[in-house]
Amino acid sequence: MRIYLIGYMGCGKSTLGRRLSEHLNLQFVDMDHYIEERNYKTIPQIFAEEGEAEFRKKERKALEELSEFTDIVIATGGGAPCFFDNVELMNKSGKTIYLNIEPNILADRLLKSKTERPLIKGKSREELVAFIDETLKKRNEFYKQAKLEITQPDINLHDLQALIS
């Protein structure tokens, strides 16, 4: 079994991924952490030193590697499904679940987050909600290709397991 969690940054992919992997007794990988370990740099460092295009290539390579793993839950980066044919690769090699969370909730979570996120750095709450809204309009064409869509981030794991099976 291979499960990919996709959705906007702050939607809960890593949190749900850890809980789900434990519940299903599967390995968990946060794709951003995987990329950081493989490149000996943080995501913000990669963005700053090499630019987004290079980061997306590294992200694709990581996705190709992870798509070979078995018995795993993978929390992807927010933009991962939107580049190259990444969403198709995920759909072919596993089950994709889109965590579709409201922009206002995402903004609140991101403002409280201690994680440095290069794409939203320095934005006010209002700017952040507008940015999320705009970005989701573009990304939803990719996110909506997921095999499952969840709109409640605190979904019961037994209910989720039933949906996946």
CATH at 125 = 3.40.50.300
Residue 102: predicted pLDDT: 92
Angle between helices 31-39 and 43-66 (to 10 degrees): 110
Residue 123 inside a domain? The answer is: yes
Q: Return all residues near 120 (Cβ < 8 A) that are at least 6 apart.
A: 9, 110, 128, 131
Residue 160 inside a domain? The answer is: no
Residue 149 inside a domain? The answer is: yes
72 pairs with which residues across the strands?
A: 2, 27
**47, amino acid identity:** F
Residue 164 inside a domain? The answer is: no
pLDDT digits (tens, 9 = 90+) for 8-59: 999 999 999 999 999 999 999 999 999 999 999 999 999 999 999 999 999 9
Residue 163 inside a domain? The answer is: no
Domain that holds residue 112: 2-155
Residue 162 inside a domain? The answer is: no
The domain tally of the chain equals 1
Task: Report, in this order, helix, strand and coil percent for the chain, each rounded to 5.
Answer: 60, 15, 30
pTM of the model: 0.94
Residue 165 inside a domain? The answer is: no
Residue 125 inside a domain? The answer is: yes
pLDDT digits (tens, 9 = 90+) for 146-156: 999 999 877 89
